[in-house]
Amino acid sequence: MRPITRLCAAFILSSGLLACSSTPSPAPDAAPEAAQPASKPASAPTTAKPDKGSKAFWDGVYDRQEYVYGVEPNVFFAEQLAKLPVGTVLLPAEGEGRNAVWAAKAGWSVEAFDISPVAKNKAMKLAADKGAEITYNVADFADPKLGEERFDAIGLVYAHMPPKVRDAGMKHLAAALKPGGVIILEGFSPAHIELETPFGPKSVEVLYTQELLRAALPGFEMLILEDAQIELDEGYHQGKAAVIRMVARKPQAKP
Ligand SMILES: C[S@@+](CC[C@H](N)C(=O)[O-])C[C@H]1O[C@@H](n2cnc3c(N)ncnc32)[C@H](O)[C@@H]1O
């Protein structure tokens, strides 16, 4: 049985939400990665669910003992990072720390950040359990205050953001990468919506396309930039997925 079904008796409601009979807090719903605009009526009760994509939303997703996306790294990220000489790596929107902890155990000096302090606490627990050392900050993707030319690699794993946040954040990430450094990305593409899975964003604006990534990273050399249909087996992400995979190298500094 796959991990998510071991976690709880999961079933899909007619609304498309995933419900879980054995967890006290709300399970991630059909699009936990999607940040969607607020649309509460003026009379909304104070007990209303937090807006998708908000800090409160993600705190609720992670407020359970289980690791929502598992404790093993994303396969593509791990494969690609393993090809690089060990150095410094940044994991933005890193959630519960599965990629950060794996990279630290592989010898990398790891910094991670996420908007959710609950995610940070779980990541630090995972690091302690596995004997890994990581630095983890609570920060917003739009302005993560990273400084310049600090990292040899950046791993963007299912980091789906609204366009304004994504565009601002990508500029900060590009600046924080050393010349010659690489960004490794795996994220859902618009084709994923057509698969009608219970996981993954349903809002096309937060999904990745090749065009979007080329435009967001001017001057970068696309070592890998492809659409792929893959089988995911990482906690809540279970089954067929349509994704973009990218490895992009920042140009070397001009002499
Ligand atoms: C689908 S999860 C992926 C988590 C992790 N990268 C992984 O693969 O396990 C998306 C993550 O984005 C984070 N996030 C959403 N909006 C954010 C923002 N504005 N700034 C930083 N992190 C954000 C969420 O808290 C969540 O951990």
| 111 assigned to some structural domain | yes
Nearest atom, ligand 1, residue 96 CA: 9
**Which tokens sit at 105?**
């155990």
The tally of domains found in the chain comes to: 1
| 102 assigned to some structural domain | yes
Q: Is the pLDDT of residue 6 over 90?
A: no
Quick: pLDDT tens for 35-84.
433 333 344 445 678 888 899 999 999 999 999 999 999 999 999 999 99
Lowest mean pLDDT among 11-20, 137-146, 201-210, 240-249: 11-20
Quick: pLDDT tens for 110-127.
999 999 999 999 999 999
Nearest atom, ligand 1, residue 140 CA: 20
- Please tell me the residue having the least CA distance from ligand 1 atom 8: 157
Which residue of 59, 62, 68, 94 sits with most ligand 1 atoms within 8 Å of its CB, as the best mutation to test the pocket? 94
| 25 assigned to some structural domain | no
- Would you state the pLDDT for residue 12? 30
| 16 assigned to some structural domain | no
Residue pair 207/192 in contact by the 8 Å Cβ criterion = yes
| 114 assigned to some structural domain | yes
- Please tell me the residue having the least CA distance from ligand 1 atom 15: 53
Which residue of 116, 134, 173, 184 sits with most ligand 1 atoms within 8 Å of its CB, as the best mutation to test the pocket? 116
Q: Cβ contacts of residue 215 below 8 Å, gap of 6+? A: none
Q: How far is the CA of 23 from the centre of ligand 1 (A)?
A: 21
| 175 assigned to some structural domain | yes
| 89 assigned to some structural domain | yes
Q: How far is the CA of 160 from the centre of ligand 1 (A)?
A: 7
Range of 227's domain? Answer: 75-249
- Would you state the pLDDT for residue 21? 31
Secondary structure percentages of the chain, helix, strand, coil, to 5: 25, 25, 45
Q: How far is the CA of 92 from the centre of ligand 1 (A)?
A: 7
**Which tokens sit at 53?**
């994509």
Nearest atom, ligand 1, residue 165 CA: 19
| 136 assigned to some structural domain | yes
- Please tell me the residue having the least CA distance from ligand 1 atom 17: 115
CATH code: domain of residue 120: 3.40.50.150
Query: Any residues with Cβ below 6 Å from ligand 1, and which?
Result: 33, 35, 53, 58, 69, 74, 93-95, 98, 114-116, 119, 140-141, 157-159, 161, 165
Pseudo-torsion of CA 31, 213, 223, 252, nearest 10°? -130
- Would you state the pLDDT for residue 49? 83
Sign of the alpha-carbon torsion through 75, 79, 97, 172: negative
